[in-house]
Structure 1
Amino acid sequence: MTTYKLWLEYLKRCGANLENNLVTSYPNSDNKDISTRLYALTHLSVIAIRGEQAQKFLQGQVTCDVTAITENSAQFGAHCNPKGRVIFNFLAAGRQNDYLLRCDNSIQAIAQKSLGKYMVFSKADFVEDECEYVCIGLKGPKSQEIIESVFKNSPNIGLESKFNDDTVIIKLSDDQFELWIKSDQADSYWETLSETCHVEPTECWQVEEIRQGRATVTEEISEEFTPQVINLTNLGAVSFTKGCYTGQEVVARMQYLGKQKKHTYRAVTDIEAFAKVGDNLYTDGTEQAIGKVVNVASTRDFTKELLICVTDTAFDTNSVYLDPQKITKLTLASLPYAITNEHKGEQ
């Protein structure tokens, strides 16, 4: 049985209900602090790369500046095909010649295959077994206090990372942390954390990612978008000064020549509305699709939150629909950052 399946089986033994490998409910006790929430991030995987040329290899393949990744500093990034389309995106941490790329579980095999075809020319390799990680999320006002108590080491600012013997801890925002825990210690840490924190469904974490405007490329939308149109530049995931990498010429041209007509926005709809990743979106005045659903997750308030990549015109005119008949209109919502690309609006 794989590490991933063992982790799912452990969660089931703890009383978790799972649907499509996501935790949907958990037997919380009444004495837990409900303000600080714990998540089993079973939709995420960690790819480990090691070797004396690991940094050089990644620097020539991904959009972010790998030299800026240190033991104390994580980075968002992406790997593109030669046409500048994102194959997968990730959150990366590393130290010395070891790098960890956290991506969506659905795309792990695609990511490894894509990187692997270039890796054969480099002194770098994937690390299996000994470096398998389980992903856990923590969010709430006492998150940092709890992490310091349990792990004795906590990052203090956004995208700061801390390495311990069996964990990597990354601070995403003021009260949100990701923990990558070596699989042989995951059960023990989960037991400790779940005794203190209120365990929430995995989808609630995905809702928070949507609200923060952090798009996740899954198998359904791999090689669909350039980094800019899913707002990876807003997350610092693209360096325009680091030099060449696969797809760099196209990505740079999109940035500087002003040909970008789409961005990713946040939207809300009714819980009953049919929406899935990769679905086409529509607007008034044309029968042609003007975008796609990037991410979608259900909230506890009986709504669905979405990240949608659509034309700026459709967003500006507040006319985005889930169906070509234009019956189900999306309610557009705000993001925590501004869409400030200087070329926005040049149609």
Structure 2
Amino acid sequence: MSLHPPVFPAEPTQFLLTDLSLVRLTGEDRVKYLQGQVTCDVSALTPGQSTLGGHCDAKGKLWGNFRLYCLPECLLLQTKASLLARQLPELKKFAVFAKVDIQQSDWTSLAIAGTGTDAWVAAQLGLGDSGLTPQGMAVRVATDRWLLLCEQDPALTLPKAEQALWWALDIQAGIPHLEAVHQGEYIPQMINLQALGGISFTKGCYMGQETVARAKYRGASNRALFVLAGEATAPVASGDTLELQLGENWRRGGLVLNAWQQNGQVWLTAVLPKDTEADAIYRLKQEEGSRLHLQPLPYSLAE
């Protein structure tokens, strides 16, 4: 069975990203406060800039990963909604000692993707790369792929598609999205944040920093995020177990991070041993007939 990857839209298409939530940080200490909590260099951002990042516990295990947006009057942290029940109280834990207010935001998270999207954004918003917009901010994720934050629904006159396709494109790109089931399981390097610019190794102390630094300088991380694709008919969900084929036997190999299914095929990301062979064969534990193979990552895993 030949693989059929997610079809990139033939024209600029909008996606309402209802699976995401936004956390808004305001107050004069917002940058300093967040700088001491997360893996990315918050102080290096200027309004209109964005970065990926991670929020760890004291042991360096992730409460969640996110995209951070820097706006003139606030910081907006965008993450999967399922994470916030545990992550938001942790983020607020030390806020009483700083001039910062941390609350969920009702801003709208949108995405636009499809052939010609770069030209559409240039014509409509005057941007060739990430920057501020009249209603908020736009971030260029890749060629013809953009994220938009808007204080109000911009009512774009573009065709609409289900957000599942946007997540499928992120899976192909090796971009991770932790869900609640993964909290406390992984250090940032296990979901490739270092390869995606989401970790600063020069910014100084933050929660979990010692573990993250040790993983880099002492090679303490033996797992990484991989993209797999193949056949599967049963529903696949975040946290499902993968098994690795060893001769005629199978053994536990890792957990599904994100998955996209269509017409009996599945594309997914999973955290697996770093030394996994390129020709390794996996299956879903709940579907013994499924077969999954590694796909090339679009970036290097070098630290």
TM-score, normalized by the shorter chain, greater than 0.5: yes
Report what 1:265 is aligned to: 226
2:85 to 109, 113, 122: 109
Matched, 1:175 2:128: no
Shift of 1:332: 1.6
Shift of 1:63: 0.1
| Counterpart amino acid of residue 295 in structure 1 | N
1:161 to 106, 112, 131: 131
Question: Counterparts of 1:236 and 1:254 in 2: how far apart (Å)?
Answer: 16
Report what 1:291 is aligned to: 254
After superposing on structure 2, the runs of 4+ consecutive aligned residues of structure 1 that deviate more than 2 Å are: 108-111, 144-150, 284-290, 312-317, 324-329, 338-341
Q: Report the count of equivalent residues.
A: 293
* C-alpha contact (below 8 Å) 1:229/1:309 kept by paired residues: yes
Question: Counterparts of 1:251 and 1:288 in 2: how far apart (Å)?
Answer: 28
| Counterpart amino acid of residue 131 in structure 2 | S
What's the CA shift string for 1:198-234, capped at 9, x where partnerless? 2111100000010111000111111211110111111
Report what 1:320 is aligned to: 282
Identity, in percent, stands at: 27
2:211 to 236, 250, 266: 250
Report what 1:46 is aligned to: 22
What's the CA shift string for 1:249-290, capped at 9, x where partnerless? 011111111122211110113251442111222223476523
Question: Counterparts of 2:61 and 2:48 in 1: how far apart (Å)?
Answer: 29
Report what 1:142 is aligned to: 116
2:94 to 107, 118, 130: 118
SS in structure 1 at match of 2:94 = helix
Structure with bigger strand share is 2
Gaps of 5+ in 2: 1-8
1:303 to 265, 269, 278: 265
Shift of 1:323: 1.6
Shift of 1:149: 4.1
Question: Counterparts of 1:315 and 1:51 in 2: how far apart (Å)?
Answer: 49
Q: Could you say if the C-alpha distance between residues 153 and 112 of structure 1 is closer, same or farther in structure 2, counting changes exceeding 3 Å?
A: farther
What's the CA shift string for 1:287-311, capped at 9, x where partnerless? 6523111111224x55221001111
Report what 2:39 is aligned to: 63
Tell me the TM-score normalized by structure 1. 0.78
* C-alpha contact (below 8 Å) 1:77/1:237 kept by paired residues: yes
| Counterpart amino acid of residue 147 in structure 1 | V
* C-alpha contact (below 8 Å) 2:279/2:293 kept by paired residues: no
Report what 1:11 is aligned to: none
Q: Could you say if the C-alpha distance between residues 251 and 46 of structure 1 is closer, same or farther in structure 2, counting changes exceeding 3 Å?
A: same
Report what 2:5 is aligned to: none
Report what 1:241 is aligned to: 202
| Counterpart amino acid of residue 258 in structure 1 | G
Q: Could you say if the C-alpha distance between residues 324 and 77 of structure 1 is closer, same or farther in structure 2, counting changes exceeding 3 Å?
A: same
Gaps of 5+ in 1: 1-32, 342-347
What's the CA shift string for 1:9-37, capped at 9, x where partnerless? xxxxxxxxxxxxxxxxxxxxxxxx95221
Q: Could you say if the C-alpha distance between residues 163 and 120 of structure 1 is closer, same or farther in structure 2, counting changes exceeding 3 Å?
A: farther
Question: Counterparts of 1:65 and 1:181 in 2: how far apart (Å)?
Answer: 24
